[in-house]
């Protein structure tokens, strides 16, 4: 009952917010935040419990629809509800004065509700239904801004439909083969399936989930969609919505098929997991360096979003205890960090009206909290020790090295240096350097926008210093799925797994920092000078032009850019133009002349008869 109530609150609340907004727009933000945070509170009390209920049945298919709460769905559910709520709170000021707000809020809540539905569904039919609700409401939100956003939304929904079709095919075939779509009963049924059939199901689902999670050949919708969506929604989109693909893949691989079946899917040295890991590694390598070349802040984060999806795929691809824990943990960490970055960029856009990395600079002095948020977010992405990103990356590297996949580990490790490049570029070009004259007077964003950033920054550091908190939840997932669970303490790993003690590093850094600070403040105090009192080879600083941000990594840019063209996108574009041309030609059979149509029909029937004569069965 409690699970139905979660979904009821979420779905009814989405509609209700719209009604409230029509009645009295002042309460709209408040109601929306309440609706967004209620599921979080309910879910928080359900920690570690496994509940499963049937809520409806489909008589003509003879199957029931059920909801199922497992530690896995709890883990993702909490992330969805928390991020969704923070994004809504951020929206209150960010969206103020924009058009069609009722539509915006109800769509945001609908996306949240459908995501909750996905993680809570206990059978694949409910899963599919919620999946479709999510896809379509996402489409509506991406194209909310109109103009270019329409194109981005179209690209998204076309790829999404292809994925959904693949998933529907697999679900249909599962239903025909086993007569049930319940996840637990499928899990037992599929143990006896042939390897080819399992591979077919897995591949079909991988296409659907891969498109959502933007793994390498299926990623092209993401950069456009992320940069065109409004910032709070970008945070949800990039933080948690694309990770629904990861959730689905994880559910299928480890909950439905199980490790035994996965291990059977191999041909010689090549196994499904190895291929998946390599896809993950390539997904890290290329997008992260493409992100370095971007000049649009949101596009940069969008590409990084694809790249970091690769870490998670890599983690669950190697399918060791550490790898799975690392992959799941990285999904959470990345969600936090990237939401933080999108909100920070949104805050900058809110105040300055631009997110072009070549036009900003020096905003740190005007927007210190936004700067701190962006800095901590970037640090988390890079994986600086004492941020959460470090722990998950550490787990993934560790397992890759010990399982003797040094090349995969290399792809992941060098991806970090790419992250350093674009993370610093983002922070520098927006917040450091000289403050342009036209932004001299801007202020920090309002409190409703600050709070989500502060909360998210807090979690980045909290999970970085005390990684045991989320890792405990992950080890509960592993226990639930019957895998070896990851032994962790609150602040690091036991000796058996490896040397990591974040608390010691934290205190060492703290003490070293304090000593450095003491040495710093023991010597003469420094005098603050204006940004125009600066070394310019003996000249006065030219106002407004003394900044290095355009083509920040020019020298490397020239060398690596030729290798980083998104040829896959070009290829899809080519297919699109070719098929447009083809259908243009095909359209010509519609002449508008009834005689022509009659001819076509007669010809078609003739062909059918002819085939019948030849003895073909259709």
- Chain positions 275 to 304 lying near another protein, rule: CB under 8 A, are none
CB nearer another protein, residue 91 or residue 434: 434
Structure tokens, 317: 């691809």
Count of residues in contact with another protein, rule CB under 8 A: 82
Task: Of 418, 402, 456, give the one whose Cα is nearest residue 286.
Answer: 418
Residue in 147, 528, 588, 617 binding another protein, rule: CB under 8 A? 528
> Are 367 and 444 spatial neighbours (Cβ–Cβ below 8 Å)?
yes
* Contact positions with another protein (CB under 8 A) in 428-447: 428, 432-435
Q: Which stretch binds another protein (CB under 8 A): 74-82, 167-175, 303-311, 509-517?
A: 509-517
Measured at the CA of 394, the angle between CA 390 and CA 398, to 5 degrees, comes to: 175
Q: Which stretch binds another protein (CB under 8 A): 39-47, 339-347, 414-422, 610-618?
A: 414-422
Structure tokens, 349: 């856009």
CA–CA gap between residue 185 and residue 66 (Å, rounded):
12
CB nearer another protein, residue 263 or residue 521: 521
CB nearer another protein, residue 558 or residue 567: 558
Which stretch of DSSP H or E encloses residue 464?
helix 447-465
- The least CB distance from residue 361 to another protein, in Å, is 8
CB nearer another protein, residue 438 or residue 534: 534
> Are 340 and 456 spatial neighbours (Cβ–Cβ below 8 Å)?
yes
**Residues sharing a CB contact under 8 Å with residue 570, sequence separation 6 or more, in sequence order:** none
Q: Which stretch binds another protein (CB under 8 A): 31-39, 63-71, 208-216, 538-546?
A: 538-546
Supply φ then ψ for residue 193, to 5 degrees. -70, 155
Measured over all CA atoms, what is the biggest interatomic distance in the chain, rounded to whole angstroms? 102
365 makes contact with another protein (CB under 8 A): yes
Q: Which residue has the tokens 């003895």?
A: 615
The number of C-alpha atoms within 13 Å of 120 and in the hemisphere containing its C-beta is 29
Site string for another protein, 464-493 (x = CB under 8 A): ----------------------------x-
CB nearer another protein, residue 30 or residue 536: 536
501 makes contact with another protein (CB under 8 A): yes
* Cα separations in angstroms, 70 against 3, 43, 53, 74, 476: 12, 11, 12, 6, 10
Q: Which stretch binds another protein (CB under 8 A): 4-12, 302-310, 347-355, 358-366?
A: 358-366
3-state secondary structure of 478: helix
Structure tokens, 229: 């969506």
Q: Which stretch binds another protein (CB under 8 A): 303-311, 482-490, 533-541, 588-596?
A: 533-541
CB nearer another protein, residue 250 or residue 390: 390
Supply φ then ψ for residue 54, to 5 degrees. -95, 130
Strand spans (E) along 170-320 = 266-267, 270-271
Q: Which residue has the tokens 């407004």?
A: 544
CB nearer another protein, residue 298 or residue 398: 398
* Contact positions with another protein (CB under 8 A) in 34-53: none
Residue in 517, 582, 590, 600 binding another protein, rule: CB under 8 A? 517
194 makes contact with another protein (CB under 8 A): no
Residue in 548, 561, 565, 567 binding another protein, rule: CB under 8 A? 548
- The least CB distance from residue 92 to another protein, in Å, is 29
- The least CB distance from residue 364 to another protein, in Å, is 6
Structure tokens, 183: 């996840």
Task: Of 290, 461, 481, give the one whose Cα is nearest residue 380.
Answer: 461
Compute the residue count for the chain.
618
Site string for another protein, 550-569 (x = CB under 8 A): --xxxxx-xx----------
Supply φ then ψ for residue 594, to 5 degrees. -65, -30
- The least CB distance from residue 368 to another protein, in Å, is 8
Residue in 537, 594, 613, 618 binding another protein, rule: CB under 8 A? 537
CB nearer another protein, residue 338 or residue 493: 493
CB nearer another protein, residue 200 or residue 410: 410
- The least CB distance from residue 497 to another protein, in Å, is 10
Task: Of 70, 158, 154, give the one whose Cα is nearest residue 118.
Answer: 70
CA–CA gap between residue 493 and residue 496 (Å, rounded):
8
- The least CB distance from residue 310 to another protein, in Å, is 17
* Contact positions with another protein (CB under 8 A) in 382-411: 382-385, 390, 393-394, 397-398, 401-402, 404, 406-407, 409-410
540 makes contact with another protein (CB under 8 A): yes
**Residues sharing a CB contact under 8 Å with residue 233, sequence separation 6 or more, in sequence order:** 87, 108, 111, 141, 142, 144
420 makes contact with another protein (CB under 8 A): yes
3-state secondary structure of 358: coil
Instruction: Return the axis-axis angle of helices 468-480 and 321-352, rounded to nearest 10°.
Output: 130
Residue in 150, 187, 413, 568 binding another protein, rule: CB under 8 A? 413
CB nearer another protein, residue 227 or residue 549: 549
Residue in 129, 505, 564, 568 binding another protein, rule: CB under 8 A? 505
576 makes contact with another protein (CB under 8 A): no
CB nearer another protein, residue 556 or residue 608: 556
**Residues sharing a CB contact under 8 Å with residue 420, sequence separation 6 or more, in sequence order:** 382
> Are 474 and 486 spatial neighbours (Cβ–Cβ below 8 Å)?
yes
HEC assignment per residue over 467-514 = CHHHHHHHHHHHHHCCCCCCCCECCEECCCCCCEEHHHHHHHHHHHHH
């Amino acid at each position: 009952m409690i699970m139905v109530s979660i979904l009821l609150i979420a779905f009814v609340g989405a509609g209700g917010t719209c009604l409230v907004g029509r009645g009295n727009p002042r309460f709209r933000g408040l109601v929306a935040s309440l609706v967004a945070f209620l599921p979080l509170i309910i879910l928080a009390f359900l920690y570690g419990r496994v509940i499963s209920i049937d809520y409806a049945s489909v008589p003509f298919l003879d199957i029931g629809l059920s909801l199922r709460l497992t530690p896995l769905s709890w883990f993702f559910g909490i992330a969805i509800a928390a991020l969704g709520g923070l994004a809504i709170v951020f929206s209150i000021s960010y969206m103020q004065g924009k058009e069609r707000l009722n539509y915006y809020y109800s769509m945001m809540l609908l996306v949240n509700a459908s995501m909750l539905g996905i993680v809570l569904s206990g059978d694949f039919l409910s899963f599919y239904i919620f999946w479709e609700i999510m896809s379509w409401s996402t489409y509506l939100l991406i194209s909310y801004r109109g103009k270019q956003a329409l194109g981005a939304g179209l690209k998204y929904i076309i790829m999404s439909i292809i994925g959904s079709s693949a998933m529907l095919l697999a679900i249909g075939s599962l239903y025909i083969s086993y007569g049930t779509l319940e996840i637990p009963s499928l899990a037992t049924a599929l143990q006896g399936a042939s390897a080819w059939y399992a591979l077919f199901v897995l591949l079909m689902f991988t296409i659907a989930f891969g498109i959502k999670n933007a793994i390498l050949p299926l990623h092209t919708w993401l950069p456009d969609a992320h940069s065109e969506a409004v910032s709070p929604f970008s945070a949800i989109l990039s933080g948690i919505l694309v990770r629904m693909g990861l959730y689905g893949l994880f559910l299928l691989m480890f909950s439905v098929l199980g490790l035994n079946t996965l291990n059977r899917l191999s041909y010689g040295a090549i196994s499904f997991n190895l291929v998946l890991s390599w896809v993950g590694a390539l997904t890290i390598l290329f997008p992260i360096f493409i992100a370095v070349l971007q000049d649009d802040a949101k596009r940069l984060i969008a590409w990084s979003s694809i790249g970091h999806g690769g870490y998670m795929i890599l983690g669950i691809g190697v399918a060791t205890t550490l790898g799975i824990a690392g992959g799941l943990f990285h999904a959470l960490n990345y969600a936090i960090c990237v939401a933080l970055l999108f909100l920070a960029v949104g805050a900058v856009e809110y105040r300055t009206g631009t997110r072009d990395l070549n036009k900003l600079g020096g905003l740190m002095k005007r927007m210190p909290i936004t700067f701190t948020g962006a800095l901590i977010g970037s640090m988390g992405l890079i994986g600086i020790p004492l941020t959460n990103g470090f722990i998950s990356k550490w787990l993934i590297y560790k397992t890759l090295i010990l399982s003797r996949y040094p090349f995969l580990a290399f792809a992941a490790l060098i991806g970090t240096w790419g992250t350093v490049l674009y993370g610093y570029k983002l922070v520098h070009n927006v917040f450091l350097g000289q403050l342009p004259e036209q932004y001299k007077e801007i202020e920090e964003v309002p409190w409703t926008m600050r709070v989500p950033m502060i909360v998210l920054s807090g979690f980045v550091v909290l999970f970085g210093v005390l990684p045991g908190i989320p890792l405990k939840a992950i080890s509960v997932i592993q226990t639930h799925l019957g895998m070896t669970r990851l032994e962790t303490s609150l602040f690091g790993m036991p000796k058996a797994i490896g040397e990591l003690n974040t608390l010691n590093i934290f205190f060492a850094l703290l003490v070293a920092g304090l000593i450095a600070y003491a040495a710093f403040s023991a010597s003469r105090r420094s005098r603050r000078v204006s940004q125009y009192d600066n070394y310019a080879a003996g000249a006065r600083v030219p106002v407004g032009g003394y900044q290095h941000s355009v083509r920040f990594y020019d020298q490397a840019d020239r060398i690596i850019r030729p290798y980083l063209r998104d040829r896959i996108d070009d290829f899809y574009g080519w297919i699109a133009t070719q098929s447009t041309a083809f259908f243009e030609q095909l359209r010509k059979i519609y002449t508008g002349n009834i005689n022509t149509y009659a001819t076509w029909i007669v010809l078609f029937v003739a062909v059918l008869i002819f085939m019948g004569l030849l003895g073909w069965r259709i």
